[in-house]
Chain A
Amino acid sequence: MIDSTILAEAEAGHLPLAESKTREALHYALRNRKVVGGLAVVLAFLALGLAAPLFTDHGPNDFVGPPAAPPSGDYWLGTTTFGQDVFLQFANGIRSTFLVGFLGGGLAALIGMTVGFVAGYRGGLVDELLNMLTNVVLVLPALVVLIIFHAYVGVTSVPMQALFIGAFSWPWVARAVRAQTLSLRTREFVDLARLSGMRTTAIIRREIAPNMSSYLVMTFILLFGGAVLFAATLDFIGLGPTDVVSLGLMMNSAVRWSALHLGLWWWFVPPGAGITAIVGSLYIMNVGLDEVFNPKLREE
């Protein structure tokens, strides 16, 4: 999801008022139901994904059980038509989901922030050019570009998929960061830093970025969710990595081997529910963080 609200706020020059200190933010974050709840769900899934290899000594795609068995004590989420353990695939698939979200979202955040900071701070011709680049990538339908790249290059691993996703999902971040940098650039403390002879990179890193740190955290969370959804879509089309299991690939094979017509709901319901739960919790966590950083939004 590209958060149009967050972009609109940034471009209107709304900065979260009075950046709170880390300790104060932590204080409110730990008392915010949305942050704690969202974080708990995300961490629970992460723990399940990390612990997945411990459950058993065979791989997630091995044929271990009876074919097409419904959920039972032995196979918690049933088996596929080939007798693969759905729970095992699900738990291992979560790991790819987190990996692609972390790497893809991280890369997009890195590119978006760099472009946004440089364009906003430098201004002039650099800004013109970077802005043009941003707008071009922004109107290109990212997923369709990703399909083209995936189809030709034949993406085989999760990091490679994350690389492509990150390379095409940064533009709205660049625009938002640029807008905020523009409004911060003329503040007195930035002038002071410039007068005292600080280098540009140091000014951006030590004076400007900390003033929107809360904003950057929230941006990363949104990018994480976006990368997860992108990866699931690509995997579902059949352009996913070949060497691992992922939640999108599970849905792909469920549909391909007509799990719907056979009524094997335990095959296609868990992967989608997992993605929805992870991404939804991230979004709700973000709303909570917004309240933490922005005192005006706090309830009561």
Chain B
Amino acid sequence: MRRYFGRKLFIYALTFIVAVTINWMVPRFMPGDPVLRMLTRTSVSNPDAIAPMRAYYEKVFGLDVPLWKQYLNYWAELFQGNMGVSVWLFPTPVTDVITGAVPYTLALLLPSILLSWWAGNKVGALAARRKWLDNSVLPASYVLTATPYMWLGILLAWSLGLVAGLFPIAGGYSFDRQPTWSAAFLADLLAHWILPFLSLFLVAFGGWAIGMRNLIIYELEADYASYLEALGAPRRLVRRYAFRNALLPQLTGLALQLGVIVAGALVTEIVFGYPGLGSLILNAITNQDYFLLQGVFLFIVLGVLIANFAIDVVYVLVDPRTRIGMQGGSA
């Protein structure tokens, strides 16, 4: 057990270090000069003012010390939870801006990931080896999984939001409301949540349904399935065993797809103006708020790593073979 989790945690720690290093390196070594861009943004008219401002910014970025020291300083600041100050929402610290947005993103992501995985697996398993269902579910799933997240979002916002007028299409709640714990506000929150949730859910659903359908077909062709059938086991039972076996690769698939789904959530938020991390990214880019952009990046990487670890734990719980392998038996 310790060895398995040790290896996994090592990879995740390494990934985090790589992410932080990318974050540190990109502004320093990539072509393009963020300091210059920030200077042009303030559009100083007096040329004499540029040099002291440049010196000021370099000091703020900590660019006036040797590289290795900059790197160490970067880590030190990070461990104190200091990711700098947002330019866009000056003078709010980046960490505060992000923690304000994270709940919205999680509220979108968690239900859509879990529900689409669950529903996609169920429907995919039903479709396998059932002609008429296969012929309807499969093509629909392929269309859904090929759809860009933002386009489905745009279509839903336009059709259900604007044309049918069923749901609001912008923001996390109505602009004339203040966040409170009242029933009216929660209902308003829910109304704003449904469309972004639905578009995330649908795209992800297609992928899971296809995966499960293919895996079930493979499992039903496996020797144990034929053996069970030869013994006269009811089809329902065979299918149940096939389903449980097929869940394992789907679980691995969930870990692999996390990045894609998170990316989907970001653009979906942008379409709906939903006040989560996606909207922060857009605002950070349009306002050239690099501290905020980097903070969001690290937060997302951290979130994805934690989710990966959670899936690893679940995997051990569902697959007895990994447990036996860990206790010293032969896997």
Asked if A8 is an interface residue, CB under 8 A from chain B, the answer is yes
Please measure, in the bound complex, the distance between the C-alpha atom of A225 and the C-alpha atom of B143, giving whole angstroms: 13
Is A237 a contact of B267 with CB atoms below 8 Å?
yes
Is A263 a contact of B162 with CB atoms below 8 Å?
yes
Please measure, in the bound complex, the distance between the C-alpha atom of A254 and the C-alpha atom of B282, giving whole angstroms: 16
Please measure, in the bound complex, the distance between the C-alpha atom of A135 and the C-alpha atom of B262, giving whole angstroms: 18
Is B147 a contact of A144 with CB atoms below 8 Å?
no
Q: Which interface class (under 10, 10 to 19, 20 to 34, 35 or more) fits B?
A: 35 or more
B4-36 CB contacts (< 8 Å) to partner A: 11-12, 14-15, 18-19, 22-23, 26-27, 30-32, 34
Asked if B53 is an interface residue, CB under 8 A from chain A, the answer is no
Smallest CB separation, A141 vs chain B (Å): 3
Is B14 a contact of A141 with CB atoms below 8 Å?
no
- Chain A residues closer than 8 Å to B210, beta-carbon distance: 5
Asked if B218 is an interface residue, CB under 8 A from chain A, the answer is yes
Q: Using an 8 Å CB-CB cutoff, how does the interface string of B206-231 with A read, 1 for contact, 0 for none?
A: 01001100110010010000000000
Is A251 a contact of B31 with CB atoms below 8 Å?
no
Asked if B56 is an interface residue, CB under 8 A from chain A, the answer is no
- Chain B residues closer than 8 Å to A255, beta-carbon distance: 154, 271
Q: Which of B42-50, B184-192, B251-259, B317-325 contacts A (4 or more CB under 8 A)?
A: B251-259
Q: Using an 8 Å CB-CB cutoff, how does the interface string of A262-275 with B read, 1 for contact, 0 for none?
A: 01010011011101
Is B162 a contact of A140 with CB atoms below 8 Å?
no
Please measure, in the bound complex, the distance between the C-alpha atom of A145 and the C-alpha atom of B298, giving whole angstroms: 10
Is A272 a contact of B154 with CB atoms below 8 Å?
yes
Please measure, in the bound complex, the distance between the C-alpha atom of A202 and the C-alpha atom of B267, giving whole angstroms: 45
Asked if B127 is an interface residue, CB under 8 A from chain A, the answer is no
- Chain A residues closer than 8 Å to B147, beta-carbon distance: 272, 275-276, 280
Is A149 a contact of B26 with CB atoms below 8 Å?
yes
Asked if A239 is an interface residue, CB under 8 A from chain B, the answer is yes
Among candidates B31, B221, B259, B293, residue contacting A296 with C-beta atoms closer than 8 Å? B221
Is B282 a contact of A238 with CB atoms below 8 Å?
yes
Is A142 a contact of B259 with CB atoms below 8 Å?
yes
Asked if B249 is an interface residue, CB under 8 A from chain A, the answer is yes
Q: Using an 8 Å CB-CB cutoff, how does the interface string of A1-16 with B read, 1 for contact, 0 for none?
A: 1111101110000100
Asked if A172 is an interface residue, CB under 8 A from chain B, the answer is yes
Is B148 a contact of A229 with CB atoms below 8 Å?
yes
Please measure, in the bound complex, the distance between the C-alpha atom of A242 and the C-alpha atom of B11, giving whole angstroms: 37
Closest to B157 in A: A260
Please measure, in the bound complex, the distance between the C-alpha atom of A255 and the C-alpha atom of B214, giving whole angstroms: 37
Asked if B51 is an interface residue, CB under 8 A from chain A, the answer is no
Is A2 a contact of B214 with CB atoms below 8 Å?
no
Smallest CB separation, B263 vs chain A (Å): 3
Closest to B277 in A: A144
Asked if B294 is an interface residue, CB under 8 A from chain A, the answer is yes
Asked if B126 is an interface residue, CB under 8 A from chain A, the answer is no
Asked if A136 is an interface residue, CB under 8 A from chain B, the answer is yes
Please measure, in the bound complex, the distance between the C-alpha atom of A139 and the C-alpha atom of B247, giving whole angstroms: 20
Which of A8, A148, A248 has the most chain B CB within a 10 Å cutoff?
A148
Closest to B278 in A: A237
Closest to B250 in A: A4
- Chain B residues closer than 8 Å to A172, beta-carbon distance: 256
Is B260 a contact of A148 with CB atoms below 8 Å?
no
Is A143 a contact of B148 with CB atoms below 8 Å?
no
Please measure, in the bound complex, the distance between the C-alpha atom of A104 and the C-alpha atom of B300, giving whole angstroms: 24
Please measure, in the bound complex, the distance between the C-alpha atom of A282 and the C-alpha atom of B258, giving whole angstroms: 22
Please measure, in the bound complex, the distance between the C-alpha atom of A257 and the C-alpha atom of B135, giving whole angstroms: 40
Is A139 a contact of B142 with CB atoms below 8 Å?
no
Given contacts A236-B150, A283-B142, contact A154 B11 (CB under 8 A): no
Given contacts A144-B300, A151-B285, A238-B286, contact A2 B260 (CB under 8 A): yes
Smallest CB separation, A155 vs chain B (Å): 10
Give chain B's interface residues, CB within 8 Å of chain A. Answer: 11-12, 14-15, 18-19, 22-23, 26-27, 30-32, 34, 139, 142-143, 145-152, 154-155, 157-158, 162, 169, 207, 210-211, 214-215, 218, 221, 249-250, 252-253, 255-260, 262-263, 266-267, 270-271, 281-282, 284-286, 290, 293-294, 296-297, 300-301, 304-305, 308
21 residue pairs A–B, Cβ–Cβ below 8 Å:
A4-B256, A7-B256, A139-B15, A139-B255, A140-B15, A140-B18, A141-B304, A147-B281, A147-B297, A148-B26, A148-B294, A151-B284, A237-B281, A237-B282, A238-B282, A238-B285, A260-B158, A260-B162, A260-B169, A268-B158, A276-B151
Give chain A's interface residues, CB within 8 Å of chain B. Answer: 1-5, 7-9, 14, 132, 135-136, 138-145, 147-149, 151-154, 172, 225, 229, 232-233, 236-239, 248, 251, 254-255, 260-261, 263, 265, 268-269, 271-273, 275-277, 279-280, 282-284, 287, 296
Known: A4-B256, A153-B26. 17 other contacts (CB 8 A): A135-B11, A142-B263, A147-B281, A148-B26, A148-B293, A148-B297, A153-B32, A229-B146, A233-B267, A237-B266, A251-B154, A260-B154, A263-B162, A273-B151, A275-B146, A276-B146, A283-B146
